[in-house]
Amino acid sequence: MKLAKFVCDALGPATGVVEEDRVVPLWTTDGPLRSLERILESDDPVSMADRLRRPDRSLPLAEVTLRAPLDRQEVWAAGVTYKRSRTARMEESESAASCYDRVYESPRPELFLKATAHRVSGPGQPLRIRADATWNVPEPELTLVANSRVELVGYTIGNDMSSRDIEGDNPLYLPQAKVYNQCCGLGPWITLVAGMPPRSEIGIRLQILRDGHPVFEGATSVSEMARTFEDLLGWLARDNSFPHGVLLLTGTGIVPDSEFTLRAGDEVRIAIDGIGELSNPVVQG
Ligand code: DO4
Ligand code: MG
């Protein structure tokens, strides 16, 4: 089952179940359900969503505007969970190369606060390159959706926009390289756990278009990830509470070659098996 947040003239902000090319709104006695929290917090999200479906009010997806599938959750991210990321970080930061090497091997993962809801862009909304950065990349990441008990409920697509020159200059600049306005893409919806393929069959693909033509294409598989989802969520939850739930980007396994940097006007497309495609235009400054 796929759960989306959307806006349309008839309903205003609403939530729904995506079924092929239509969205079936979720309804309560007060009218359209506006946040996903109630479903994600339920012991049985699929049954609850089923009970709230209003098929008589279903709409073509083409007639609604999808929004990022989060409410009030914090958005966290894991780093250096794939070999490709370890190599890229060691190249960009000679002085701190051993930090990245060690964290890849260490039991404790790298975890950082990536975004709050107002810094997140949904499908089709712009993602930003910092005005003071010169070397920027998107990071396509499978994103775990967990409830307030930090139980895995579903998955979405995340884009951990990153300024490699800022982080490469000094790893203590990581929060500035990672956290700023429109620094994180999420969407297009959440696939609940039962609807995902096995971990070994989840492919991740990145395409970057410039003037409508591909300037970078890459692919990886979640089977390349050095850590399990349970391990990452377990570390995240240590002495840390999430009253509204939390989303966790699980790290990138695709990093363009060092010569590549994103430009304003580019379009970033990320596809993940079992979920769909997230596409965003890029702006700067
Ligand atoms: O250590 C820097 C961040 C790494 C990261 O974001 C990733 O591996 O995806
Ligand atoms: Mg990342």
Integer Cα distance of 252 and 220 in angstroms: 9
How confident is the prediction along the chain (285 residues), in pLDDT tens digits per residue? 999 999 999 999 999 999 999 999 999 999 999 999 999 999 999 999 999 999 999 999 999 999 999 999 999 999 999 999 899 988 888 888 889 999 999 999 999 999 999 999 999 999 999 999 999 999 999 999 999 999 999 999 999 999 999 999 999 999 999 999 999 999 999 999 999 999 999 999 999 999 999 999 999 999 999 999 999 999 999 999 999 999 999 999 999 999 999 999 999 999 999 999 999 999 998
**Please, which residues bridge with residue 6 across strands?**
14, 66
> From the CA of 100, how far away is ligand 1's center (Å)?
9
Give yes or no for a contact between 190 and 145, defined as CB atoms under 8 angstroms apart. yes
Instruction: Tokens for 232, please give them.
Output: 């990452």
Output the pLDDT for position 285. 80
d(CA 133, CA 212): 24
DSSP class per residue in 108-169: SPEEEEEE-GGGEE-TTS-EEE-TT-SSEE--EEEEEEE-TT--EEEEEEEEE-EEHHHHHH
0.75 cut: is pTM over it?
A: yes
Cα 9 to averaged position of ligand 1 atoms, centre (Å) = 39
- pLDDT at residue number 141: 98
Task: State the DSSP code for 254.
Answer: -
Work out the number of other CB atoms within 10 angstroms of the CB of residue 232: 24
CA angle centred on 117, ends 57 and 243, rounded to 5°:
90
Structure tokens at 176: 């500035």
Q: Please name the residue whose Cα sits nearest to atom 1 of ligand 1.
A: 79
Q: First CA to last CA across the chain, in angstroms?
A: 38
Ion ligand 2 neighbours (CB, 5 A) are 139, 160, 252
In angstroms, rounded to a whole number, what is the distance separating the alpha carbons of residues 182 and 176?
A: 13
